[in-house]
Structure 1
Amino acid sequence: MGDLTAPRTPQPWTAPTATDPVGTALRLPGSKSLTARALVLSALASGPSTLARPLRARDTELMAGALRGMGAHVSISDDARWLVRPHRLTGPTHVDVGLAGTVMRFVPPIAGLAEGRITFDGDPQARTRPLGPLIGALRTLGVRIDTPTGGSLPLTVSGTGQVTGGEVEIDASASSQLVSGLLLAAPRFDRGVVVRHVGPPVPSAPHLRMTVRLLRAAGAAVDDTTPDVWVVEPGPLTGRGWEIEPDLSGAVPFFAAALVTGGEVTLQGWPPRSTQPVEQLRELLHRMGGEVALTTDGLTVRGTGRVHGIDADLSDVSELTPVFTALAAVADSPSRLTGVAHIRGHETDRLTALATEFTALGADVTELADGLEIRPRPMRGAPFRTYHDHRMAHAAAVAGLVVAGVEVDDIGCTSKTMPEFPALWSAMVTGEN
């Protein structure tokens, strides 16, 4: 697969058009969110850990490299089983965050626990991603951080080997990762942490519940019974075996293909109980005309060939907005997708990017302050820019199923979370899997 963290050349790609209903059963790589959190908790534990079926992609390799650079032993040579042995955290080292929100928000709190100077920077677009609230919170908790630009990358953490911790207020309305980053490192802070969110609602709440669940699985004492308040007690974390679920966000384009073509897609290896927002996805796909079933074979989505428009608040599942925009563009009625103002601060301003690119294909898209209105119209082939954003590429692939000539400027950006995506997608459409 090569070095996924290295600079790469854009890879133009013509999205394949489906002539028949798709029918496939596939096993996708592990969840990016689960892999990142398991790596962090394993590096902070008191003993070794393993990750079974983790995600090998650019974001997770960058996370492994960051932890390795601070002294942890992280072996990712076996795709099916990664090994993490914690070690005393030290600097100096440089952390390349790439364009990964998990790396830029989860690793600075850990750097405060290291002895030495840890510098952070990443892709040019990473310097625009929201980081200021985390920087302010870490300073309040006793971490020394230097930021030439104020509230964004690049930054330098001068670690002393310990973080005092305590109580802190933070506005995490731009990303739930701002809270998760603090919580994951908090058991190693002298006083733990009490995090109080102040501001508009925190988006992607299921990801915060995932963070809390994994912390408890590693032995941390966490109280999240009070809304917008998280209390983590200081204490040791236990090394353990982590079973990484398939990535739900990565599966959504394939499920969308079932709806668009009237086909059937099964995600194999799906667990009976999940830390990912499968129920929210099930409801949304059902409202758009799909049938969703969880059986011993996996998670299956069937389509009828008709897609219905919806009015939906996607604040809990904002990662799905690009693919649901593509579904809305081929639906039989208008859609209104709201609650996702914060995705303007993701890999790109996703709302503006989606409105621009789907308008270029011929759809009628109106950009809202916190979402999009989509009125379906006949679309035509045209160039489709990804803006280095893997989710934009997923949206283009879904549109290309029914619109010939969707020319994606760089399908290689999907290596951020699923390097196998182009091959898996083409095999699904052609029936060669």
Structure 2
Amino acid sequence: MASRAMNRASKIQRAHLERLAIVYVRQSSLAQVYGHTESTARQYALADDATRLGWEASRIVIIDADLGISGRTASARAGFRELVGRVCVGEVGAIFGLEVSRLARSSADLQRLLELCSVSDTLIIDSDGTYDLAQFNDRLLLGLKGTMSEAELHLLAGRLHGAKQAAAGRGALRFPLPVGYVYDDARATVLDPDEEIQTAVRDLFAAFTVTGSGYGVVGAFAARRFPRRAYGGAWAGEIRWGRLTHGRVLGILANPAYAGAYVFGRYRSRRTLTPDGTIRTTLIRLPLPEWAVLIRDHHPGYISWETYLANHERVAAHCTHHGARPEREGRALCQGIVRCGACGRGMTTTYPARRPAVARSSPRWWTRSSPTASCRWSRLRRLRWPWPRRMRWQIDGPAAAGPWSCGSSGRAMMPREPSGRFTSAIPTIGWWRARWSSAGRPS
């Protein structure tokens, strides 16, 4: 122990003692924070080591903002960013860590920190010794430790994912069940014994068979409650009753568990790089042939597998996010490509009884939950002459501030005679706006 202390103190100079000693504390998950308290206590005790090595108590700073955050990336770690910032301005004399893996599990992040420490003459001190990054041997040793730490994380993740996939292949991997299902004493998936919950789920599928749309199901449940299982908090795992939403309807219709199927691997994670250099992980929904595990007739279902596939195709046919929308009355002109010139949302057309067509620029859920006086709807008049070469609209009213200005008092309509010339927002692809002349050509 005495030789180790001498080895530590041999590289510490007065210039280092006159600057800050940063004690960096991190645990990879909240479960480790609450369950592995001894490791956390050892990291906080590094402040006593800094005192014994000559730093004054006023110059010892503990950074523990990353407790419960993985060291795989630096983007989500505010404490690591604070540490790097202090090193860059030259106010850090030494960084204390229990081991190199506490600093970073990524070789790229660790090498960046080592380079900054080398330039700013900052020491790194762990349980094995003191490292001066200006010396090649110390820098090489820390680099090897960082590489081994990253490889260790890769091996652990590989083992965990392999065991998880093996259990899922047998249908033995347990995960939270959707509303309408519970685990029995034999760990098998069975229907919820609560008859009210079963009736609500069956009525949802029956309502979709009758109405054919998610909003139709929401309307059928307008005066009823629907069960929902709470996750986390004091109500974790318990059933709560509330209003049925459109998103929940689509989620239930898309869940193959209600058809008696055990499914694993419906989503795949993908890491993307944002323009500011931040690495983000997103989930991608995979098509049915690419699901990793699919075991049909695994448990009792509320609907058959054929009904599930038919519902899936029916919902996909009603999707208006991409491409042309379903054809209604009148001619199918510019379906799916017209956008509001004020807000940029896609225009949808409705046909109220005894009224002209109404073009709406907001989705139905938006107008219901957040009614606003702008960008809501515009009334269209029928064209009074044949359709040769002209595709134009004109704005009539005080809200005519721009193309397709859909204010509550503004109306977008066809010109009453083929002599007008104006700027319109007819078919806008993306955010591009076309200017059309009376001859029907871009001017």
Normalising by structure 1, we get a TM-score of 0.22
Structure 1 or 2, whichever has the larger Rg, is 2
Which structure has the highest strand share of the two?
1
TM-score, reference length from structure 2: 0.21
